[in-house]
Structure 1
Amino acid sequence: MKISIIPARGGSKRIPRKNIRNFAGKPMIAHAIQIARESQLFDHIIVSTDDIEIAAIARQWGACTPFERPAELANDFAGTTEVIAHGTEWAIAQGWKLEAVCCLYATTPFVEVDDLVAGWKALKSDKWFYSFAVTEFASPIFRSFQQTKEGGVKMFFPEHFSKRSQDLPTALHDAGQFYWGLPQAWLEQKRLFERHSIPVFIPRDRVVDIDTEEDWRQAELMWDVMQRRNKTK
C-alpha cells in the first residue's frame, strides 16, 4: 500500500491561510490533492491538519482527514519529518501494510503526475530510503558572497574566485514539492539530505518556494506563462 500525506497546518504566518487561499481558481491545496488523485499511485490521500476549515476543504476535493494533527506538531517549530512520522504511525496502527509514504506539500501547484511517478520509480530502483524533488541553483553557489559589517563583500568560497562557472560542481537544492520515503525511514526520522536519498530532477521553471507575498505573485506569473505555453503546444 502507498499513501500520500499532505501537511497543511492552519497557522501560516507570512501568508495567512495560504494552504486554502485561492490560486488559479481553486484552493491552493486542491492542486496537490488533484495531482495525487490523477497519479493513481495512492491507496489513500491524507491531509494532516489541525484546522477544521482546511480539513473540510480537503475532503471536498477528495482527500481524507482521519485524524487531527496534535498541537505540538502544528507550531512554527515542528518539522516535516515529524509530521509525516506521526501520519505514518497512525496508518500502521490501522493495520495498513505500507510500502511507501509520499509527503506532498500543499503549496505545490506545479507538481505533475510524471514527477510523482518518477519519484516512486526512483525510490524502488535500489535500496534508497527517500526520493525527493530537486532542482539546480540558478547561479553557482561556489561564487556566492555575503555583505560584511563594514558594507563590503566577502566570498563564502574564495578559493573558487578564479574558476570558470562550467568548472564548478553542479549544486542542487530541495524543490520543496514531494518526498517519497520508506515507512521505516519516516518512523526513524532519518535525515533527507543524505547518501541514502536519490534526487528527482525538476526543471527550474516549475519550482518556487511560496513563503511570501512576492513568492505568491511569482507563482501566479509562472502559472499564467505555463497556461499560455500549454495552449500553443
Structure 2
Amino acid sequence: MMSKLCSICARGGSKGVKNKNIREMLGKPLIAYSIEQARESGLFEHIAVSSDSPEILEAAAKWGADILVERPLEMASDTAAKLPAIRHCVQHAEAATNKTFSVIVDLDATSPLRTTEDIVNAVNLLETRDVPNLITGAPARRSPYFNLVEMDGDGFVRLSKSSDKPIVRRQDAPKCFDMNASIYIWKRQFLLNDYPLFLPDTILYEMPEDRSVDIDSELDWRIVEWILGSRKGAAV
C-alpha cells in the first residue's frame, strides 16, 4: 500500500473574502472542513497544513492537522504560484516525520463542498489507472468549440478552439471541464521533480457542479454556505 500525505495550503492574505480560511461557516472555520474530510477518508498517515498565518496554523492544529508548516512569505504573495508551496509543504512534512510519501493529495481549503467519497474515489482512480497525477473538474458550461470565444488585439472575436468540421450543437463537441481546484493528486516523483501540472497522461476525476464551487468572493461564500446548510438541514 502506498503511503499518503494530505497537504492543505491556506495563505492569510485573501483579497476576495477577508480571512476566509479561518472565517466561520456554519459554526466552524472554513479550513476545518478540508481537515475533517481528510481525516474521515482514512487514507492519510499525516495531514499537513501550510500557511504564512499563525492564526490559520493555530486553527488547523485545533481541528486535527498534525503537521504545521510555516510557509515562506515569498510563497504567500498575491502572485505566488501554488505548486512551489505544495512542494515546500511536502518536503517539510517528510523532514518532520522522517518518512517518504508515495502519494500526495492536496485539498483546497476553499472547496468545502467536496465529499469524503470524492477524495477516496479520486485516489482510487489514480491508483487504478497507474498515472502520474490527477486533477478534478466539473462539466463546463461553455465549450471552446462552440460558444467560448477569444478577442484579439483589434477587438475581433473567434472561437477559442477550432475543429476539423463545424460543430453546430454543443452536445457534439468534445467533453470539456472547468477545473474546480478541489483535489490535486500526484505520485511523489512527479510533484517534487518540478514537472508541470499537465503531463501527457494526467487524468481528471469528474465532480458535479454543486460540489465544485471554489470560494473567491462573498457571493461564492453565500452559495457554499447555502449548499452546506441545505445538506445539514440548517437555516442559513
Shorter-chain TM-score range: 0.7 to 0.9
| Structure 2 counterpart of 1:145 | 149
Look up the equivalent residue of 1:84 and give its one-letter code.
I
Work out which of the residue numbers 99, 111, 115 in structure 2 matches 1:96: 99
Contact conserved, 1:88 with 1:183, CA < 8 A, in 2? no
Contact 2:49 2:89 in 1 (8 A): no
For 1:2 and 1:153, the matched residues in 2 are separated by 46
RMSD across aligned C-alpha pairs, in angstroms?
A: 2.4
| Corresponding residue number in structure 1 for 2:18 | 16
SS in 1 for 2:38: helix
SS at match of 1:124: helix
CA distance in 1 between counterparts of 2:192 and 2:107 reads: 17
Give the secondary-structure state (helix, strand or coil) at the position aligned to 2:129.
coil
Q: 2:113–2:210: 8 Å Cα contact kept in structure 1? A: no
SS at match of 1:66: strand
2:214 match: 209
2:139 matched to which residue of 1? 136
Q: Which runs of 5+ in 2 are unaligned?
A: none
How many residue pairs match? The answer is: 229
Determine if contact 1:88/1:186 at 8 Å carries over to the other structure: no
Cα distance per residue 1:125-156 (max 9 Å; x no partner): 23311122111102333212367899996544
What SS does structure 1 have at the residue aligned with 2:69? coil
Distance 1:147 1:90, change over 3 A: closer
- Which aligned segments of 4 or more residues in structure 1 are displaced greater than 6 angstroms? 147-153, 158-161
- Alignment map for 1:59-208 (pairs within 5 Å): 59-94=61-96, 95-142=98-145, 143-145=147-149, 155-157=159-161, 163-208=168-213
Is this contact kept in 2: 1:102–1:180, CA < 8 A? yes
8 Å contact kept, 1:55–1:65: no
Distance (Å, rounded) in 1 between the aligned partners of 2:32 and 2:102 = 25
Which letter maps to 1:145? Answer: V
- Are residues 33 and 150 of structure 1, via their aligned partners in 2, closer, same or farther at CA, if it must alter by over 3 Å? same
In 2, Cα distance between the equivalents of 1:187 and 1:97? 12
**Maintained 8 Å contact 2:148/2:160:** yes
Aligned equivalent of 2:9: 7
Give the deviation of 1:162 after TM superposition. 5.7
> How many Å separate the matches in 1 of 2:127 and 2:158?
43
Q: Quick one: structure 1 residues 90 and 166, their matched pair in 2 at CA, closer, same or farther if it must change by over 3 Å?
A: same
What is residue 226 of structure 1 aligned with on the other side?
Answer: 231
Q: Quote the Cα distance in structure 1 between the aligned partners of 2:7 and 2:162.
A: 42
Unmatched 5+ residue regions in structure 1?
A: none
**Alpha-carbon distance in structure 2 between the residues aligned to 1:8 and 1:137:** 26
For residue 47 of structure 1, the aligned residue among 44, 49, 59 is 49
Specify the code of the residue in structure 2 equivalent to 1:171: C
Identical-residue share of aligned pairs (%)? 34
Shift of 1:106: 0.8
Alignment CA distance shift 1:65-1:93 (3 Å): closer
